[in-house]
Structure 1
Amino acid sequence: MAEEAPDRFPVAPAIPEAPPAVVLDRPDPEFEFTAVHAVERAVTPTLSFTTRAKDASGIQIYTIALTVMITIEPGKRSYDPEARERLAELFGEPERWINTTGAFRWAQVDKLVPSFAGETEFEVEFPVTFDHEIAATKYLTGAADGVAPLQVHVNGTVFYKGEDERLQLMLMPWDRSFRFDMPIATWREMITDHYAESTWVRLATGTLGRLTERKSESGSPTFDSCIADMLDATGDEQPAAPRTKSLWGEGSGPHA
């Protein structure tokens, strides 16, 4: 007797379909610093940050009108006792540092990013002041060694090729940010190459006028010697500390 055919046959389990690939219809660029160096033969001290831009969409980007804001985050690293002493003017006594070492702004520059699709690298340059009344100068001079923890914020306008081949634009929000640890030695050596063993102190116009008169009356050949003579006249018989020690700390000279 022949076996009856079953009413139903077993059904093979369905193979799940792969999720559709995410296709971006507009650029979504991300940025990072990969290196930093001093610009050679610049008129003023200038740092150049090698910047990498990546865009997963693969869309042709004609340019990005980019704004880059750099802040320093002193609380993101540790300091030895000598550095803490040098930074006391900026942050106060060490027990207060938990409240005083917040981020502060260093620089903001604009940059036109060259045309690319996918990934590119370019340089972001900004001039650096050596004014010792600026918080960044006080910090980098006092920290002397190690790294300066940077938080970098970027925004701007992206100009790209639309689906209909027409020029499109997109605004980038300020929520794009990344971190970068800048070697302080790079900044220090750049400053030394420009100013050697000199530094800059801002004076009010009236103060400079009085100092000029004192320099003329005393016959001092330079403002430096005039100020040194006035300091000696205060009766302080302690020998002056070497300039490299007063600026960078003992053992942390410009080319140590």
Structure 2
Amino acid sequence: MTEIGFRCLGVRPDAYGVFPTLLFRLAITAPDDGAVHAIALRCQIRVEPQRRTYGAAESELLADLFGDRSRWDETVRPLQFANVSVMVPRFTGATEIDLPVPCGYDLEVAAGKYFASLDDGEVPLLLLFSGTVFARAGEGFTVRQVPWDREARQGLPISTWREMIDRYFPGGGWLRLSTDTLRALQRYKSERALPTWDEAMEALLKEARR
């Protein structure tokens, strides 16, 4: 059987997921029309930030990840986004499947910081495939590994990312803080009789600017 091939046809939010999930539509081919019984497929997804340009506002926010813009030739490197697995059911010749990729909104994770810093355009992604292919061979089966060089590139529109995140965190985001920091913020908020956490953070920012 000719080696398995992969293409990514697009990406969309999962409209019915219980948590933020992107669905990557994959086209899988066995070019000699061989019958594939199943594939235990693994996919590593990386962000390739060096493959796009950035505006001034984006560059300012990305300094937290990559440092000063003058050093980006040295510091801008691929970021890990996800490692996922899926079972591909039996097919002959070619098939299409959805690859679900659970997503978070943790701004302490490098990929989360990167997505949150972009205004528009696309996130350049690289999908690296591996796994095990189970195929028919006469009256039995063959078992072989997905070749190490199987990969596909796909752009993730920032509008798609925001559409997904806004379904679960409309108009807001999350920061993870230590218990001691939270208690200190709670005392600050209480001492000034500030009704919301947003107002407490705005007051702190004003004091820092002064």
TM-score between both structures, scaled by the size of structure 1: 0.75
- Residue 70 of structure 1 aligns with an amino acid whose one-letter code is I
Aligned residues with identical type, % of pairs: 36
Equivalent in the alignment of 1:170: 144
Is the alpha carbon distance of 1:77 and 1:231 closer, same or farther for their aligned partners in structure 2, counting shifts above 3 Å? closer
Equivalent in the alignment of 1:208: 182
Q: What are the equivalent positions in structure 2 for 1:1-256 lying under 5 Å apart?
A: 26-163=1-138, 165-232=139-206, 234=207, 236=209
Q: Deviations over 1:132-189 (max 9, x none)?
A: 11111111121221111111100001111112x2122112243211211221211022
Task: State the alpha-carbon separation in 1 of the partners of residues 118 and 156 from structure 2.
Answer: 12
Is the alpha carbon distance of 1:210 and 1:85 closer, same or farther for their aligned partners in structure 2, counting shifts above 3 Å? closer
- Residue 162 of structure 1 aligns with an amino acid whose one-letter code is A
- Residue 181 of structure 1 aligns with an amino acid whose one-letter code is G
- Residue 191 of structure 1 aligns with an amino acid whose one-letter code is I
Task: State the alpha-carbon separation in 2 of the partners of residues 84 and 230 from structure 1.
Answer: 24
Highest CA radius of gyration, 1 or 2?
1
Range that drifts further, 43-52 or 74-83: 74-83
Range that drifts further, 64-73 or 26-35: 26-35
Task: State the alpha-carbon separation in 2 of the partners of residues 92 and 71 from structure 1.
Answer: 20
- Per the TM alignment, residue 57 of structure 1 is displaced from its structure 2 partner at its CA by 2.5
Equivalent in the alignment of 1:3: none
Task: State the alpha-carbon separation in 2 of the partners of residues 109 and 235 from structure 1.
Answer: 42
Task: State the alpha-carbon separation in 1 of the partners of residues 166 and 149 from structure 2.
Answer: 36
Task: State the alpha-carbon separation in 2 of the partners of residues 231 and 89 from structure 1.
Answer: 18
Equivalent in the alignment of 1:254: none
| SS of alignment partner, residue 175 of structure 1 | coil
More strand by share: 2
- Per the TM alignment, residue 83 of structure 1 is displaced from its structure 2 partner at its CA by 2.0
Task: State the alpha-carbon separation in 1 of the partners of residues 199 and 166 from structure 2.
Answer: 21
| SS of alignment partner, residue 148 of structure 2 | strand
Q: Deviations over 1:10-44 (max 9, x none)?
A: xxxxxxxxxxxxxxxx3511111101111113222
Q: Does the aligned pair in 1 maintain the 2:3–2:147 contact within 8 Å?
A: no
Aligned CA-pair RMSD = 1.9
Range that drifts further, 123-132 or 38-47: 38-47
Q: Deviations over 1:25-69 (max 9, x none)?
A: x35111111011111132221111111101113221111000010
Q: Deviations over 1:77-111 (max 9, x none)?
A: 11222222221221122221111111111001000
| SS of alignment partner, residue 43 of structure 2 | strand
Range that drifts further, 208-217 or 49-58: 208-217
Q: Deviations over 1:210-229 (max 9, x none)?
A: 33444455544443333334
Is the alpha carbon distance of 1:118 and 1:93 closer, same or farther for their aligned partners in structure 2, counting shifts above 3 Å? same
TM-score between both structures, scaled by the size of structure 2: 0.90
Unaligned runs of 5+ in 2: none
Is the alpha carbon distance of 1:219 and 1:188 closer, same or farther for their aligned partners in structure 2, counting shifts above 3 Å? same
- Residue 143 of structure 2 aligns with an amino acid whose one-letter code is L
